[in-house]
Structure 1
Amino acid sequence: MVMDPNKAQDVWKDAGEHVQFTVLELKREDQAKDQEAIQEFVDRFQAITRSLRIRDNKGNLKVSLGFSNAAWDYLFPNAPKPKELEDYETLTGPKYEMPAVKGDLFIHVRANDEAVVYEFMAQLMNFIKDITTVVDETKGFRYFEGRAIIGFIDGTENPEPQDAADYAIIGDEDPQFVNGSYAFAQKWRHQMDIWNKLTTEDQEKAVGRKKFSDLELSEQEKFKNAHNVASQATIDGVEQKIVRMNVPYSDPASDNTGTYFIGYARHWNVTKKMLENMLEKNDYLLSFSDILGGQLFFIPSRPLLDQIAEGEFK
């Protein structure tokens, strides 16, 4: 079966202006009831998306819905499973760790207008709130010029838009789940006082790029644990890529500022390798950040969502 990006969810498009990430956990009080509720929820998810794209045809609404490995086993116990779907477990390096958190359902919404994001989630939660609890709900935003909250252009290492689908969407290596994707969601909280005390020159060495122009520094100019060095993943001599749609979040008055990292990938092992390298090389960004948690989710293709909604996938 040939990959068709038009049959994928929104896993390779732009990061958006107004963004919301929601992670839910199933209460698991009645499996049969939960399975029926998920069928309706998935159906409504698609219907609400279509409706809001008509209501605000310039809103640029993009959405994706995913299931963790634990949710997959619970909701679809007799169905096949994507080859690389697994429980994300805490990764530990010499100095830092990337903790895992619980999470069954992952919802990623972005649009040009915050009202569209709100309306989508407000309608959607009517069909899922009774069987779930909220693990995390984070509102993100596009910072100036698409920069990360630490002031640097984000996403420079992403593949070109015309090539992105090849890195984000599963192909014929897993034909039952073609046009799906692996999403890794991870929430970082930054100690901005520490970061802001660094000189611009040291910040550039820490990231590996110029702050204003985004030009990459030479290897000699960077810190050995610069972010764009530590986060690289090479497999069989080939540098690998994923599609990142990271966004800042902040509650300035309570000093709660960070980055919501979201990486969509054709292969989970590529993202995992990047995370392991960041830990092994003590990525400089970890020195002033706390990672609050992360989890892996599988993002089904739109045709597979239809099968789930129709009760054909159990």
Structure 2
Amino acid sequence: MSLYQPGILATPVPAHARHLFFDLQAAEHLPAALDRLLRLADGEAVVVGFGESLVRALGRQVAGLREFPALAGVGVDNPSTQHALWLWLRGEERGELLLRTHELERELAPALVLADRVEAFRHGAGLDLTGYEDGTENPRDDDAVAAAVVAGAGAGLDGGSFAALQQWRHQLQVFAALPQAEQDDIIGRRKRDNEELDEAPESAHVKRTAQESFEPEAFVVRRSMPWTAGSDAGLMFLAFGRTLDAFEVQLRRMSGLEDGIVDALYRFSRPLSGGYYWCPPRGAAGLDLSALLG
């Protein structure tokens, strides 16, 4: 029986993580590179996601997989920076992740070349760098599996999941200069106790992304973590879903494309990237790539 990659729903998020993004360079070497990847990626310490371009390079299709849409609203731009392969490295120590990165680069060459990387970390008990808790409304236990994992699609697909990623850069000093009540209104929660504000404005992030307010309901499982590089910092947003639709309807509403109200999050933060990936299931012998390799 195929199961999901365990790192997808493992809690809490790891102390440290690396997001690696690879571009396809030599398609003729791709099958051999994927064979080597199977030996290195267990779905827990290394979660694997394939972009549509890689799937097409193998002459296959995965129902529901597509490229990340570049969505623009009033004063809002959500860029698409799609890559062929995404690897989420999870661990307790940064040096461990660095050395694992070097090994993966060697083993995936010359088929795939590392195009970008983002180092992330757990802040407190799972806080964004603004000090607010991330993923408060995540579904739990069986509900998390139902929201994040594909079922009823057939062998090689059941147990898979779809990942949506965006790297958000925060203007933390701008946010910190705001009065506490205004900060709370932007997020839609009180920082001191994480309680949702009933009287928050309609632009509050919590109201823009209320998963039960969509038709159908748009539940995803968030595994976001802060990142920092030099003077820049923000949130590496990561959400898993049984389809990409739930994330996409949330992003459209955040961008003001549903009702003209833009999420207040854009007042101090902007996305730098955007990508969609299919995470294959894991079988008894490791990752199940039968949907790609036959």
Q: Tell me, yes or no, whether TM beats 0.5.
A: yes
How many pairs were matched up?
288
Q: Does 1:143 align with 2:123?
A: yes
Q: One-letter code of the match for 1:231?
A: T
Aligned Cα root-mean-square deviation (Å):
2.4
Q: How does 1:1-314 map to 2 (within 5 A)?
A: 5=3, 7-14=4-11, 15-28=13-26, 31-46=27-42, 62-74=45-57, 76-77=58-59, 79=60, 81-173=61-153, 176-218=156-198, 220=199, 222-233=200-211, 237-251=215-229, 254-280=230-256, 281-303=261-283, 306=287, 308=289, 313=293
Alignment partner of 1:193: what SS?
helix
Q: CA deviation at 1:23?
A: 0.8
State how far apart, in whole Å, the 2-side matches of 1:38 and 1:101 are: 22
Q: One-letter code of the match for 1:37?
A: A
State how far apart, in whole Å, the 2-side matches of 1:313 and 1:132 are: 17
The 8 Å contact of residues 37 and 127 in structure 1, kept in 2 or not, is answered as yes
> After the TM superposition, which parts of structure 1 deviate over 6 Å for at least 4 consecutive aligned residues?
none
Alignment partner of 2:293: what SS?
coil
Q: Deviations over 1:38-90 (max 9, x none)?
A: 222233334xx7xxxxxxxxxxx63310110111101x20x3x2221011220
Identity of aligned residues (%): 21
Moved more, 127-136 or 146-155: 127-136
Q: CA deviation at 1:99?
A: 0.6
The 8 Å contact of residues 212 and 219 in structure 2, kept in 1 or not, is answered as no
Q: One-letter code of the match for 2:231?
A: D
Alignment partner of 1:272: what SS?
helix
The 8 Å contact of residues 151 and 211 in structure 1, kept in 2 or not, is answered as yes
Q: Deviations over 1:195-243 (max 9, x none)?
A: 111111111111011101101111x2x1221001112345774532111
Unaligned runs of at least 5 residues, structure 2: none
Q: CA deviation at 1:13?
A: 1.6
The 8 Å contact of residues 83 and 174 in structure 1, kept in 2 or not, is answered as no
Q: One-letter code of the match for 2:140?
A: E
Go from structure 1 to structure 2 and tell me whether the alpha carbon gap of 1:10 and 1:96 turns closer, same or farther (over 3 Å shift): same
Q: One-letter code of the match for 1:68?
A: G
Q: Deviations over 1:160-207 (max 9, x none)?
A: 244311111101145541000000111111111211111111111110
Alignment partner of 2:107: what SS?
coil
Go from structure 1 to structure 2 and tell me whether the alpha carbon gap of 1:212 and 1:165 turns closer, same or farther (over 3 Å shift): same
Go from structure 1 to structure 2 and tell me whether the alpha carbon gap of 1:311 and 1:271 turns closer, same or farther (over 3 Å shift): closer
The 8 Å contact of residues 169 and 179 in structure 1, kept in 2 or not, is answered as yes
Partner residue, 1:54:
none
State how far apart, in whole Å, the 2-side matches of 1:131 and 1:85 are: 21
State how far apart, in whole Å, the 1-side matches of 2:130 and 2:291 are: 45
The 8 Å contact of residues 221 and 240 in structure 2, kept in 1 or not, is answered as yes
Q: CA deviation at 1:92?
A: 1.6
Q: One-letter code of the match for 1:11?
A: I
Structure having the larger proportion of residues in helix? 1
Q: One-letter code of the match for 2:236?
A: Y
Go from structure 1 to structure 2 and tell me whether the alpha carbon gap of 1:313 and 1:287 turns closer, same or farther (over 3 Å shift): same
Q: One-letter code of the match for 2:183?
A: Q
Q: CA deviation at 1:306?
A: 4.6
